[in-house]
Amino acid sequence: MEERIMIKLGILGLGKWGLNHLRSLKDIDCQLIGVYDIDKTKKKLSNEYGVTFFDEYRKLIEKVDAVVVVTPINTHYDIVKNCLLTGKHVLVEKPIVEDSERAIELVKLAKKNNLILSVGYLYRFNNSIKIVKDLLKEIGEIQYITARYIHSTKPPRRDSGVIMNLGIHVIDILNFVLGITPVKVYAKKKNLLSKVFEDSALIVFDYKDFFATIELSCAHPEKARDMWIIAEKEKLYVDYFNQYIIRYPLKVSYDAVERMEPIRETLQKNEPLKDELRYFVELVDGKHDYKENIGGENYYTTRLCELSLESAKAGREMIVE
């Protein structure tokens, strides 16, 4: 029996999240060739995992079929572009870049070279979010949505504010489960910790027939990633951090209120990062059609973050074009 050739893969960036990728990839069916980081002291860490360390990423990409880019946001454009130009498939951590026009450029480059360009929106692989996408077919017309991505358990990032860092996850979740993008955006932000990057924000999306609000903060006493979807037949509470859903069968009218006992959905918790990485490796290996978690979708996610920042700065709503 002919031995199957495994995909050769490299990790670019060995910070805290890059280490999470390294741990996860050790359990995935691929050939992990090595890791790169600008900090040469990270070699000790790579040695602990038995992986070759590279202090120049171009040397690593010469030896692989695909890369996972987990470097600072301001390096994404140059690194991803160089990887695509050398014929490598790419999974890049979110955001793909901070500029939506550059995002489109990279998407077109990947398409031109018949390469996979995926972005690390791991909540698409979170079982609670996948189930919510299916439940939307049952709960009737949506009235409104509220979502939170808040915490103070980590030091704030120094390369982006909460809209581009935290909000981009929620925006992608909404794009993914709803299958549509808003027509208007209005946002407010607060810069308390930094003159450059916001540490708290509130975004309102207008979807014509309903609206969604997103609360973002890296200065909140609670740690929460959750969402309420208030719809005609049911009200859904989704905790996509702890992975559970509570369904509230509730119909409200001027004549009567129909209320049933809440139903807690039984979910099989998964490890979204591992599933995301496994899906990427299998995409490269040709086991899936290239339909999900693709670079082209992420133009809209990045653009909505841009419009939110523009709205907060200008103090007025922005039209999504």
Does residue 3 lie in a domain region?
A: no
Say whether both 156 and 194 belong to one domain. yes
pLDDT reported for residue 1: 46
Strands 244-252 and 184-190: unpaired
203 versus 155: which is more confidently predicted?
A: 203
pLDDT reported for residue 166: 94
Number of structural domains the chain divides into: 2
Range 1-11 average pLDDT: 78
Range 39-48 average pLDDT: 94
Is the pTM of the predicted complex or chain greater than 0.75? yes
Say whether both 99 and 27 belong to one domain. yes
Say whether both 72 and 151 belong to one domain. no
Does residue 258 lie in a domain region?
A: yes
Range 37-55 average pLDDT: 95
Does residue 218 contact residue 152 with C-beta atoms inside 8 Å?
yes
99 versus 8: which is more confidently predicted?
A: 8
Q: What is residue 181's three-state secondary structure?
A: coil
Token representation of residue 20: 């999470």
Say whether both 285 and 237 belong to one domain. no
Say whether both 96 and 131 belong to one domain. no
Determine phi and psi for 243, rounding to 5 degrees: 60, 70
- CA angle 289-126-46, nearest 5°? 85
**Res. 234 pLDDT band, cuts 50 70 90:** very high
CATH number for position 201: 3.30.360.10
Shortest CA distance to 277 belongs to which of 6, 78, 26? 26
**Host domain of residue 200:** 124-270+303-319
Whether the predicted pLDDT of 317 surpasses 80: yes
Whether the predicted pLDDT of 2 surpasses 60: no
Whether the predicted pLDDT of 287 surpasses 90: no
pLDDT reported for residue 257: 77
**Res. 296 pLDDT band, cuts 50 70 90:** low
